[in-house]
Amino acid sequence: MITGAVLAGGKSLRFGKNKAFQLLGGKRFIDLAIESLRPFCDPVMAVVSEIEPYLDIGVMLAQDIIQDRGPLGGIYTALLFSPAEWIFVRATDMPFLVPELASMIIDAREGFDAVVPKMNEYYDPLLAMYNRRCIPAIARQLREPDKRQVIGFYRKIRIRTVTEREWREVDPDALSFKNVNTPSDLAEIDGPERS
C-alpha cells in the first residue's frame, strides 16, 4: 500500500491566488493531482495549510502540523498521517504525471528510504516517494528554522536517485516536471499545443 500525498499548502505568492483551485482543461489543479495518483495509491490525501477550502475534494485532508515550513513540513505531515509506510508526493502545481514515470519511481523503492528523480542534476523532491523511516531525519531538520530546503535531510537517509537518463526513457518531454508558478507558466502549458 502507498499513500498518495498532494501538497497543497503553499502560499501561491507568484501566482496571486491559490493554485490548487486554478483550472486547466476544465479541472482544478488539486483534482488533476489527485486523479494522477489514484491508479498507484490508496488512499490519496491532500496536505493543506487550512482545511475548510478543501472540504469538497473527496480525499482525506491533513493540515500542516508545523505551519510555514513549506514543502518539508508538508512531507512530514503526510508521513505522520499516512496509513501506509510509503507516500508518493506530488505538488499541486505540477498538473501532469506520466504513469510510466510513477511506476518507475514506485518500482525503485525496495531497499531505500526515498526515491527521488533528478532533472538537470537537481533533485525534484516534490515528485518523489518517502518512507516513514525519513520521519526522524525530517523532524531534526524542522527543529532548525533556518533550514527550509527539502533536500537537507537527504544525506541522512538511503536515497535512490532516478537519473534523468532513466526517466527520460518514459517521460521524454519532462511533462511530469512542469510546474506552474505564475500565470504565464499556466498560459504556456494551457496553450494551443496542449491537446
Below-70 pLDDT ranges, the chain? 10-17, 182-183, 185, 190-195
- Does residue 195 form part of some domain? no
Q: What letter does residue 163 receive in the DSSP assignment?
A: -
pTM, entire model: 0.91
Q: What is the pLDDT at residue 193?
A: 41
Q: Tell whether 41 is covered by a domain.
A: yes
Instruction: Write out the three cell numbers for 98.
Output: 506520466
Report the CATH number at residue 25.
Answer: 3.90.550.10
Number of domains in the chain: 1
Q: Is residue 194 part of a domain?
A: no
Domain-embedded: residue 162: yes
Report the DSSP beta bridge partners of residue 131. Answer: 86
How far is the C-alpha of 81 from the C-alpha of 17, rounded, in Å?
27
SS3 176: helix
Residue 65 lies in a domain: yes
Q: Which domain holds residue 126?
A: 2-189
Q: Among 82, 66, 90, 175, which Cα is nearest to 133's?
A: 82
Query: Does residue 170 lie within any of the structural domains?
Result: yes
Provide the b/e sequence for 162-181 (b: ≥16 CB within 10 Å): bebebbeeebeebebbebbe
What 3-state class would DSSP assign to 177?
Answer: helix
